[in-house]
A = this chain, B = another copy of it.
Amino acid sequence: MRLSTKHKEILIYCISMALLLFLLKWLEARFIVFNYRLDFFIGAIAIVFTVLGIWLALKLVKPKVETRIIEKEVYIDNSAQTEINQKEIAKLGISKRELDVLNLMATGLSNEEIAGKLFISLNTVKTHSSNIFLKLDVKRRTQAAEKAKRLNIIH
């Protein structure tokens, strides 16, 4: 098993921290020096661990990659667009008119604009779209458009 650089850094830090604590414990047992110089002692620890923290941070901070210029040669085999999936439409029980609405919806038209294009009332469009949402099992027109394209119900 191998450790990443980052894990190694953390390991080193933990070990040194443990060693330091161990050393302090030993000093404590050796000389009872901390009772009357506690504040001084705390200060020393604070400084040591601050430095360690800074060192750790400097080690761990990864340089962020800023600019990425990609030169690309793209060869597109632009074969015919995916066929619309009639079976999926049938399976979901989407009617002709609903499909009309769905198509216009996916191009970004508002309900009112759809109503205008199909010569039906706004309320009718709303009814159709509600039914579409039910059949596609989505909550919003944006989801409907996404899912319909994903299922190749529309282009």
Contact = CB atoms under 8 A, between A and B. Distances in A.
A45 interface: yes
Interface string A109-148: 1100000000000000000000000000011111111110
Nearest to A107: B146
A1 interface: no
A61 interface: yes
A35 B36 CA distance: 11
Size bracket, chain A contacts = 35 or more
A76 B79 contact: no
B83 A74 contact: yes
28 contacts: A20-B46, A21-B43, A24-B39, A28-B39, A48-B49, A49-B49, A50-B52, A50-B53, A53-B55, A63-B63, A65-B68, A67-B67, A68-B68, A68-B69, A70-B83, A71-B71, A71-B72, A72-B74, A74-B75, A75-B75, A76-B76, A77-B77, A78-B78, A78-B79, A105-B142, A108-B144, A109-B142, A142-B145
Interface of A: 17, 20-21, 24-25, 28, 34-35, 38-39, 42-43, 45-58, 61, 63-79, 83, 86, 105-110, 138-147
